């Protein structure tokens, strides 16, 4: 029996090696291959010489049912009614994706509304509502030609109207109207579309709330001020502030999704953000036929969906679960079609090669989301008074650098990926496969070159974990902060959902990691909230630091860097996590102002992509070298699944990867061998 177990374990490890080698060959799931249209499949953009047509695309129309089954080695049939899960803390608070920065809201919205363009599973932009698009003046003007057979339907599938270019005009006016939408999703149009920021300021400062809410999407001020035109029902034109070679990639993100004016009129503008699924209008592959808060959501196939050749599920049921343990139990009872394995479950399977689940262990692909620690620079106590001790400490650069160099996060990564924890290591704030220099170098690799003191690494220990250097910074920080009245240990306040054992286990690991700097220096305290971390923790500014994951909305690194600008209401992290609008320390303010100026200068470079990326890389390195933010990890896990992740849309930016379209599935779980083959075939296609 022992010999058999060893052979099984060696076989699994050999298959995993094939998987890792295949992933390495295709850049960790990203694609640097360039297609005929001049766009890089990685998400970064080279000069795009004109419009794209259906004929120019790979996998243009989507998969058929026959293509889905294939010769996979797994003997299951394609799944007709998919069941997935989400943790209840990821519950959405609106169906209007333009009014949210949440990936969970976008995931629902992206399945209910069709965008201008989307992705195939190799990362190439392909037509959706737009059949062709392009620029004839190097990015100053972008024209999209739309299909004429896309319709809006109600929850029951009854036609409500045609999808036309006017719906994108309505969508953009809503995004830019301060009293309709606040500041959600404005940073992208601000930086690209002519007059976008001017119109936002007009609605915010020059007219009353009542007048702003009463504005029609085709009001004279908007049309004369903002660079958007709808010359006919099936032509859409955007005018950019400058030559924006990547502008078409914005069409895959929430800021450039359509809104039908009829839907707003039916419920009223004041009720629109809270619209129900019963009143929602649908043009995407699914209709949200069931929506129960904190419980079940059901997406049902939209029979009027324009893409008649694609593969869709009859239904997709999204089950909300209490914590990250429940999905393992639901997998065991056959109630979900994949599970991201909890550490205890994975350890149980790995310890017993005769376990029936052993041969089905597969690693998820690394997602587009990049995780970082964002310090809150103005933390409050529960009584609303400033936490002066923390606020003074975190404003000290030596204190921040002691954290930056002193955290060995391997045990934390191990919770999600005990087999290959170092695959989660991340040194940059932005994601890979997003922007690429003309010589093929990934932008992130250039950022890492500019970081101070990063060693080569041994593959065993995080490259940024240098405990001796951390202790040097600790000693300097204690001396400087003691002189300012800071008492030690400094309290690091951390919150988890009450009753969530998985979150408590993770928090205790983090406590060990932070307090390894010395309990004379850091006291990591764990507190709880009841239901909403945003309402109970983030908005009251109670937590000391946040680990956040950001995925790009379009194919340019500015989408990451713009979120931490100083004195910018559209910089979502600056206002909601870093609390920069309340910071009083002059050194912190000066650093963020300098960083913001560097980003603004980089954004002004439009004619030379390499110079633009270099300027951004210098700004990002400045941000990290001063430990103003602290990159932590990529996201990947181990899973049991009936879904071939390599068949999903691959998107380094935007929301296409959340769309349940053309997914290859099997009623019988995939094996480690299946996934090794999927990865190898994917890599061969990408390189070939």
**Interval 263-270 mean pLDDT:** 97
Distance (Å, whole) CA 627 – CA 620: 11
pLDDT digits (tens, 9 = 90+) for 528-571: 999 899 999 999 999 999 999 988 888 889 989 999 999 998 89
Interacting residues of 111 by C-beta distance below 8 A, sequence separation 6+: 284, 285, 286, 288, 299, 316, 658, 659, 660
Distance (Å, whole) CA 625 – CA 550: 20
Nearest C-alpha neighbor of 227 from the set 195, 253, 198: 195
Strands (DSSP E) contained in 196-242 are 228-232, 235-239
The yes-or-no verdict on residue 40 having pLDDT over 70 is no
Distance (Å, whole) CA 655 – CA 139: 23
Q: Residue 363 corresponds to which tokens in the numbers above?
A: 């690693």
The yes-or-no verdict on residue 12 having pLDDT over 70 is no
| Model pLDDT, residue 71 | 47
| Model pLDDT, residue 211 | 98
The model's confidence at residue 74, banded by pLDDT at 50, 70 and 90, is: low
From the number of C-beta atoms within 10 Å of its C-beta (0-12, 13-18, 19+), residue 90 rates as: middle
pLDDT digits (tens, 9 = 90+) for 357-395: 999 999 988 888 899 999 999 999 999 999 999 999 999
Q: How far is CA 30 from CA 25, 154, 452, 651, in A?
A: 10, 37, 27, 9
Strand order, beta sheet including 130-134: 130-134, 141-146, 235-239, 228-232
The DSSP bridge pattern shows strands 315-321 and 81-87 to be parallel
The model's confidence at residue 163, banded by pLDDT at 50, 70 and 90, is: very high
From the number of C-beta atoms within 10 Å of its C-beta (0-12, 13-18, 19+), residue 468 rates as: exposed
Tally the C-alpha atoms within 13 A of residue 245's C-alpha that lie toward its C-beta: 24
Residues, the chain, total? Answer: 688
| Model pLDDT, residue 673 | 95
Distance (Å, whole) CA 564 – CA 569: 10
Question: What percent of the chain shows pLDDT beyond 70?
Answer: 89
What sign for the dihedral angle of Cα 35, 41, 47, 53? positive
Strand order, beta sheet including 545-550: 545-550, 370-375, 630-634
| Model pLDDT, residue 73 | 56
The yes-or-no verdict on residue 53 having pLDDT over 80 is no
DSSP letters, 5-70, are HHHHHHHHHHHHHHHHHHHHHTTTT----B-TTSBBTTS-B----S---GGGSTTTT---HHHHH-
**Interval 239-259 mean pLDDT:** 93
Higher pLDDT, 46 or 490: 490
Nearest C-alpha neighbor of 299 from the set 310, 286, 281, 312: 286
pLDDT digits (tens, 9 = 90+) for 430-469: 998 888 899 999 999 999 999 999 998 888 899 999 999 9
Give the single-character DSSP code of 663: -
**DSSP-H helix ranges across 538-585:** 558-561, 572-576
CB 119 within 8 A of CB 649: yes
Which position has the token pair 């713009």?
562
The yes-or-no verdict on residue 161 having pLDDT over 60 is yes
The yes-or-no verdict on residue 259 having pLDDT over 80 is yes
Helix (H, G, I), strand (E, B) or coil at 482: helix
| Model pLDDT, residue 586 | 97
Give the single-character DSSP code of 378: S
User: If you average pLDDT over every residue of the chain, what do you get?
Assistant: 88
| Model pLDDT, residue 688 | 60
Distance (Å, whole) CA 124 – CA 111: 19
| Model pLDDT, residue 559 | 87
Question: What percent of the chain shows pLDDT beyond 90?
Answer: 74
**DSSP-H helix ranges across 219-317:** 220-225, 261-267, 269-272
Distance (Å, whole) CA 393 – CA 517: 15
- Global pTM value: 0.75
> Taking phi first (over 0 means left), then psi (-120 to 50 degrees means alpha), and beta for anything else, what does residue 426 get?
beta
Q: Residue 381 corresponds to which tokens in the numbers above?
A: 């106590």
Tally the C-alpha atoms within 13 A of residue 108's C-alpha that lie toward its C-beta: 30
| Model pLDDT, residue 19 | 46
φ, ψ for residue 380, nearest 5 deg? -110, 155
Interacting residues of 39 by C-beta distance below 8 A, sequence separation 6+: 45, 46, 48, 52, 124, 125
| Model pLDDT, residue 502 | 82
**Residue 81's beta-bridge partner residues?**
315
Q: How far is CA 608 from CA 36, 274, 393, in A?
A: 21, 43, 41
Q: 673-683 in b/e burial notation, b at 16+ Cβ within 10 A?
A: bbbbbbbbebb
CB 111 within 8 A of CB 203: no
The model's confidence at residue 123, banded by pLDDT at 50, 70 and 90, is: confident
**Interval 100-119 mean pLDDT:** 94
Strands (DSSP E) contained in 537-581 are 545-550
Higher pLDDT, 1 or 573: 573
The yes-or-no verdict on residue 675 having pLDDT over 90 is yes
**Interval 16-26 mean pLDDT:** 42
**Element housing 109 (H / E):** helix 103-112
Domains in the chain, CATH or no CATH each: 370-376+387-489+552-632 (3.10.105.10)
> Taking phi first (over 0 means left), then psi (-120 to 50 degrees means alpha), and beta for anything else, what does residue 185 get?
left
Q: 3-state DSSP helix/strand/coil percent for the chain, to nearest 5? A: 40, 15, 45
φ, ψ for residue 37, nearest 5 deg? -80, -5
**Interval 179-202 mean pLDDT:** 95
Q: How far is CA 289 from CA 64, 179, 265, 301, 540, in A?
A: 25, 30, 21, 10, 35
Distance (Å, whole) CA 485 – CA 471: 21
φ, ψ for residue 666, nearest 5 deg? -145, 135
| C-alpha 625: how far from chain center | 24
Distance (Å, whole) CA 462 – CA 441: 23
Neighbours of 48 (CB within 10 A): 22
**Interval 501-510 mean pLDDT:** 92
The DSSP bridge pattern shows strands 638-641 and 362-363 to be antiparallel
The yes-or-no verdict on residue 417 having pLDDT over 90 is no
**Interval 42-47 mean pLDDT:** 28
Give the single-character DSSP code of 95: S
């Amino acid at each position: 029996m022992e010999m058999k177990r060893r052979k099984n374990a060696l076989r699994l490890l050999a298959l995993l090696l094939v998987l890792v080698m295949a992933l390495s060959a295709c850049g960790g799931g990203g694609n640097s291959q360039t297609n005929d249209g001049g766009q890089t499949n990685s998400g970064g953009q080279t000069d795009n010489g004109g419009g794209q047509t259906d004929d120019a695309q790979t996998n243009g129309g989507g998969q058929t049912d026959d293509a889905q089954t294939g010769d996979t080695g797994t003997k299951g049939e394609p799944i007709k009614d998919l069941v997935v899960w989400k943790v209840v803390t990821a519950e959405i608070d609106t169906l209007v994706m333009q009014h949210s920065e949440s990936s969970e809201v976008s995931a629902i919205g992206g399945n209910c509304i069709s965008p201008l363009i989307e992705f195939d599973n190799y990362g190439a932009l392909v037509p959706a509502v737009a059949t062709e698009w392009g620029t004839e003046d190097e990015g100053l003007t972008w024209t999209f030609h739309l299909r004429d057979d896309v319709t809006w339907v109600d929850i029951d599938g009854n036609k409500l109207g045609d999808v036309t270019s006017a719906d994108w005009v309505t969508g953009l006016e809503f995004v830019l109207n301060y009293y309709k939408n606040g500041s959600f999703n404005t940073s992208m149009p601000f930086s690209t579309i002519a007059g976008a920021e001017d119109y936002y300021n007009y609605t915010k400062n020059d007219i009353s709330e009542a007048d702003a809410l009463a504005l029609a999407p085709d009001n004279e001020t908007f049309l004369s001020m903002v660079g958007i035109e709808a010359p006919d029902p099936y032509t859409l034109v955007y005018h950019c502030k400058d030559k924006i070679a990547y502008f078409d990639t914005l069409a895959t993100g929430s800021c450039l999704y359509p809104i039908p004016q009829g839907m707003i009129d039916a419920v009223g503008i004041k009720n629109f953000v809270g619209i129900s699924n019963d009143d929602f209008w649908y043009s995407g592959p699914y209709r949200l036929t069931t929506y129960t808060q904190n419980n079940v959501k059901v997406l049902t196939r939209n029979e009027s969906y324009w893409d008649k050749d694609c593969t869709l599920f009859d239904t997709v049921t999204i089950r909300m679960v209490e914590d990250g343990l429940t999905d393992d139990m639901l997998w065991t009872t056959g109630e979900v079609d994949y599970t991201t394995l909890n550490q205890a479950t994975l350890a149980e399977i790995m310890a017993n090669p005769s376990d029936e689940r052993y041969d089905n262990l597969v690693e998820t692909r690394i997602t587009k989301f990049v995780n970082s620690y964002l310090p809150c620079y103005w933390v409050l106590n529960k009584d609303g008074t400033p936490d002066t001790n923390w606020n003074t400490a975190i404003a000290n650069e030596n204190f921040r650098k002691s954290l930056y160099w002193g955290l060995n996060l391997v045990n934390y990564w191990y919770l999600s990926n005990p087999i290959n924890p170092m695959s989660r290591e991340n040194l940059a704030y932005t994601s890979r496969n997003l922007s690429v220099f003309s010589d093929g170098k990934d932008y992130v690799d250039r950022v890492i070159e500019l970081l101070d003191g990063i060693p080569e690494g041994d593959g065993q220990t995080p490259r940024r974990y240098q405990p001796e250097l951390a202790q040097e910074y600790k000693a300097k920080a204690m001396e400087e902060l003691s002189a300012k009245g800071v008492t030690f240990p400094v309290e690091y306040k951390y919150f988890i959902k009450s009753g969530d054992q998985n979150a408590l286990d993770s928090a205790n690991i983090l406590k060990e990691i932070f307090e390894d700097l010395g309990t004379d220096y850091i006291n990591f305290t764990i507190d709880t909230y009841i239901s909403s971390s945003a309402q109970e923790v983030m908005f009251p500014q109670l937590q000391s630091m946040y680990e956040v994951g950001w995925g790009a909305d379009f194919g340019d690194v500015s989408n990451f860097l713009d979120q931490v600008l100083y004195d910018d209401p559209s910089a979502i992290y600056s206002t909601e996590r870093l609390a920069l609008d309340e910071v009083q320390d002059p050194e912190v303010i000066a650093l963020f102002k300098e960083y913001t100026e560097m980003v603004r200068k980089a954004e002004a470079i439009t004619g030379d992509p390499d110079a633009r990326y270099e300027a951004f890389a210098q700004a990002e390195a400045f941000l990290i070298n001063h430990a103003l933010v602290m990159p932590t990890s990529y996201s990947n896990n181990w899973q049991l699944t009936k879904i071939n992740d390599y068949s999903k849309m691959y998107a380094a930016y935007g929301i296409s990867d959340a769309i349940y379209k053309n997914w290859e599935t099997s009623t019988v779980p995939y094996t480690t061998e299946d996934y090794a083959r999927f990865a190898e075939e994917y890599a061969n296609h990408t390189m070939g």
